[in-house]
Structure 1
Amino acid sequence: MKPPIKPFALCLENAGNEASLIMGKVYRIVPDARAAKDDLVRIIDESGEDYLFDRTQFAFVDFPQAVRKKLLALQRAS
């Protein structure tokens, strides 16, 4: 499986990961081609650390540059 080309992932399912992921929240993706081969995606979760999750838990999204900058600034501030 190819790694996602979009820089963000919208959480659609968090079963088993309720403390790490909030459904409906947008998370930043950390590119990881090796994980993608196993249908996994590396996400910066609620702990602020990157972890592997099943890619079926997310919809991959992108935003205009101004929105991307704001999202990244918000994630760094939290």
Structure 2
Amino acid sequence: MKRIHTLLAVQSVVAILVSINRLSPWTLGHVLPNEFLRWVDFNNMLVLPLISLTAFYLLKRQLSTILLRVNRGRTWRST
């Protein structure tokens, strides 16, 4: 259960980081000198979604492992 709570906490931290990223002046600079992409957009499009997707995948894998352990002893009968 500790791993599940940790992965859910990661998802919560990502949601908080998205809010901080959008509302703070720290990420208003531009990524490249041509001023095409700001750090706030870069973080919202690449960095934070990858962290969130990885945490979601690990959470899904953890839950399926637990489900397999629970169902290991059960047999399915057709009626």
Provide the TM-score with structure 2 as the length reference: 0.19
When Rg is computed on C-alpha atoms for both structures, the one with the higher figure is: 2
Provide the TM-score with structure 1 as the length reference: 0.19
Which is strand-richer, 1 or 2? 1
Which is helix-richer, 1 or 2? 2
